[in-house]
Amino acid sequence: MRKFAQEGATAILMPIGTTSSMGALKAANELKVPLVAPYTGAGPVVKFTEYGFPVRISFDEEYGRIVNHLFTVGLDRIGFAHNDNPGARSAMESTRRFIEERGHKMQGSVAIAQDGSDAEQRAKELAVFRPNAIVLSATNPVAAKFIKAYRAAGAEARFYSFSFLNGRGLHKAIGDEAAGVVVSQVVPYPWNAAMPVIAEYQAAMKKIGEKDFSYGSLEGYLNAKVLVEALRRAGPGASPEAVKKALESMSSYDLGGVFVKYAPGQHTGMTFSELSMIRKGGGYTR
């Protein structure tokens, strides 16, 4: 981040992951260079700072919406399975709080080793509580081992995950045992060409010879679109401060069916999310 700033960068786009995004955000505020669309929804990154401009919603918002959905469809015996690390543990505690705000209690939770080596034992432990829904905060390899072990134990529950779970990767790992897993998505369905920005994204992908559309590449496209619009508004040779002001002028910018909202003192980004379900064969349905 500092090297980019020294070389004259007027903004930084999309650092990947929570740790790198936190470091980049700290530097962005010290150097007064806008940081646009960090690829994480962690609380310390998405909360308001002068030079931080998140695009996706927070992880907490994702889990809150998952809990709302579960209660809406009558699934109120909720368990939680997560990687044994501080970030995933925080997601579990947030989900517990959302459940308790509705007057219920989490049925149980388990922390799974980072390599998934104890997934079978943890699956048996959680199955004892007989949840009808299990919310996940786990990497793809750990989620794959846990879901497979849970189903092998003969226990039944519906699985829900936040947006960092790669559904296609999960299907590749455990085949049709991934079918029915529900994943929160923070960008629209990439195959819905009826939405203007999706048609635009698909055309751009095809132009470079890429026909494998995905949520991840669409998120990158939308993030770049936000920054390009800010650069256009700031004008040629713009300073970092001019780019910041341009971003804050995007009070309700239509990307082509979804909106981003920024203003001085309020760097909201998008408010979009929806749930998708992994189908047999590895595709998604909404």
Q: What angle do CA 158, 161, 166 make, to 5 degrees?
A: 115
How many Å apart are CA 267 and CA 276, to the nearest integer? Answer: 27
Question: Is the domain 2-57+194-271 a CATH 3.40.50.2300 member?
Answer: yes
Mean pLDDT by 10 residues, the chain (286 residues): 90 95 96 97 95 98 98 98 95 97 98 98 98 98 98 95 96 96 98 98 98 96 98 97 98 97 97 97 93
The sheet that has 259-263: what strands, in order across it? 253-254, 259-263, 266-269
Please report, as a single letter, which amino acid is at residue 218. Answer: L
Find how far residue 17's CA is from the centre of its chain. 11
d(CA 75, CA 106) in angstroms, rounded, equals 12
2-57+194-271 shares its CATH topology with 60-185: yes
pLDDT of residue 1: 84
Residue matched to tokens 């009558």: 74
Per CATH, domain 60-185 is 3.40.50.2300: yes
Q: Where are the domains of the chain?
A: 2-57+194-271, 60-185
Our CA dihedral for 37, 15, 60, 189, rounded to 10 degrees, sits at 60
- Separation CA 65–CA 138 (nearest Å): 18
How far, in Å, CA of 86 to CA of 191, rounded?
35
Within 13 A of 77's CA, how many CA atoms are on the CB side? 10
- The pLDDT score that the predictor gives to residue 83 is 97
If you ran DSSP here, which 8-state letter would residue 132 be given?
S
- Identity of the amino acid at 1: M
Is 75 in contact with 132 (CB distance < 8 Å)? yes
Q: Which residues contact 132 (CB under 8 A, 6 or more apart)?
A: 75, 76, 77, 78, 156, 157, 158
Q: For residue 39, what are the β-bridge partners?
A: 16
Taking the whole predicted model, whether its pTM rises above 0.75 is answered as yes
Q: How far is CA 36 from CA 24, 44, 55, 232, 269, in A?
A: 10, 15, 7, 15, 10
Question: Do the Cβ atoms of 122 and 112 come closer than 8 Å?
Answer: yes
**Half-sphere exposure (Cβ direction) of 194: Cα atoms closer than 13 Å:** 1
Rounded to whole angstroms, how far apart are CA atoms 76 and 131? 8
